[in-house]
């Protein structure tokens, strides 16, 4: 069974509620209609009901009823503002009602608060909003997951029956060692939830086991130490070169005795630049399909779409996000 078929199976079994904060979009409407027809999730669209109806008509979808929440509804605004004031108070910050209303008076905040309250299990946005705005809403309304201080991203990389994960490819340009450790642990958890198998996490560099100096070597070495200390139950090792991570022969030659070398399925790049470039090389030269980038590290699943996405990518991201829940 492929990873995508596995995710479809999980969605049909659970049929979670997904809220789309950028809901006034024909691409989201088309994806939501398809998800309803296939019995995969229960979509809620955030937006002006009239604009959503127009998008539904333009998409050519008929016979589908979509649940729509207007983020500017006065009663909802007051409810969301009160909740945001309570969130800030718990952090030791007192803000006025006017400030709270201003903070929640947008679709991203409304969607994130629905996820926080459990009215939706999953949030999907970004088709009309920037990545920075999606992450900001998630951090303000939901916060980071227990044990994590870092919001990052990953790609699912699929080819035939081979599945691996590349991280971080879209959020943190130059992570610290502590952030890299957070990223490694978070991605290992996602791999386990989606695939049902244990992750084998390689922290990558241009050096293997101290063969090189300078650059990102010390960064990846320190990140490996931190990750092993925080999550000793996980198979995490580094620093290592990519060939040592994927080739059993090279891995055991360069890094003998490592439980990860030669068997890695989760790859932590030392910076966003190398992660993004590596993912695109695998896609264009290696024939891998890329799904993502998907977000991790928040206290509930909220994922970011590209503003250049199509309806099929909204559909696929929704399924992958639901499987992560």
* Candidate from 63-67, 112-116, 166-170, 277-281 with smallest mean pLDDT: 63-67
| Separation between Cα atoms, residue 50 and residue 59, nearest integer Å | 14
Tell me if 209 sits within 8 A of 240, measured CB to CB: yes
pLDDT at 1 over 70: no
DSSP H stretches of helix in the chain: 3-14, 26-37, 49-59, 74-90, 97-104, 107-117, 131-141, 177-195, 217-230, 242-246, 248-254, 272-284, 311-324
Give kind and range of the element (H or E) at residue 292.
strand 289-296
pTM beyond 0.95: the answer is no
Beta bridge partners of 294: 154
Mean pLDDT of 49-74: 86
d(CA 141, CA 116): 7
pLDDT at position 200 over 90? yes
Q: Estimate to the nearest angstrom the gap between the alpha carbon of 230 and the chain centroid.
A: 21
> Of residues 79 and 64, which shows the higher confidence score?
79
Residues 6+ apart with CB under 8 A from 47: 22, 23, 24, 68, 69, 70, 71, 107
Q: Omega before 239 cis (within 30°)?
A: yes
Residues above pLDDT 70, as percent of the chain? 99
- List pLDDT tens digits, range 250-309: 998 999 989 999 999 999 999 999 999 999 999 899 888 887 778 888 888 888 888 888
Between β-strands 152-159 and 289-296, what pairing exists: parallel, antiparallel or unpaired? Answer: antiparallel
Residue 150 carries which DSSP code? -
Structure tokens at 220: 């990846």
| Six-digit token string for 30 | 């088309």
* Tally of CB atoms within 10 A around 176: 14
Average of per-residue pLDDT across 73-100: 91
Mean of pLDDT values over 138-160: 85
Q: What is the mean pLDDT of the chain?
A: 88
Bridge partners (DSSP) of residue 255 are none
pLDDT digits (tens, 9 = 90+) for 35-54: 998 889 899 999 999 998 88
């Amino acid at each position: 069974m492929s990873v995508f078929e596995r995710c479809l199976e999980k969605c049909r079994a659970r049929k979670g509620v997904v809220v789309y904060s950028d809901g006034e979009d024909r691409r989201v409407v088309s994806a939501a209609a398809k998800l309803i027809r296939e019995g995969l999730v229960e979509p809620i669209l955030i937006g002006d009901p009239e604009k959503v109806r127009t998008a539904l008509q333009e998409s050519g979808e008929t016979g589908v009823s979509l649940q729509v929440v207007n983020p500017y509804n006065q009663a909802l605004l007051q409810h969301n503002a009160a909740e945001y004031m309570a969130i800030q108070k718990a952090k030791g910050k007192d803000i006025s009602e006017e400030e709270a209303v201003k903070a929640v008076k947008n679709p991203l905040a409304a969607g994130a608060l629905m996820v926080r309250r459990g009215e939706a299990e999953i949030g999907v946005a970004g088709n009309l909003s920037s990545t920075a705005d999606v992450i900001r809403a998630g951090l303000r309304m939901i916060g980071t997951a227990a044990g994590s201080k870092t919001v990052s991203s990953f790609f699912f990389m699929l080819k035939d029956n081979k599945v691996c994960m590349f991280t971080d490819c879209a959020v943190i340009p130059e992570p610290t060692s502590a952030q890299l450790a957070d990223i490694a642990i978070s991605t290992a958890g996602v791999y386990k939830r989606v695939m049902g198998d244990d992750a084998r996490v390689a922290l990558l560099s241009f050096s293997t086991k101290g063969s090189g100096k300078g650059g990102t070597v010390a960064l990846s070495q320190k990140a490996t130490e931190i990750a092993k200390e925080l999550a000793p139950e996980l198979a995490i090792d580094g620093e290592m070169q990519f060939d040592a991570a994927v080739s059993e022969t090279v891995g055991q030659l360069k890094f003998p005795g490592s439980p990860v070398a030669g068997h890695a399925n989760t790859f932590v790049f030392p910076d966003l630049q190398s992660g993004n470039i590596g993912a695109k090389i695998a896609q264009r030269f290696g024939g891998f399909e890329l799904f993502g980038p998907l977000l991790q590290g928040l206290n509930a699943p909220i994922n970011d779409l590209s503003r250049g996405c199509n309806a099929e990518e909204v559909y696929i991201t929704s399924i992958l996000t639901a499987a992560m829940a």
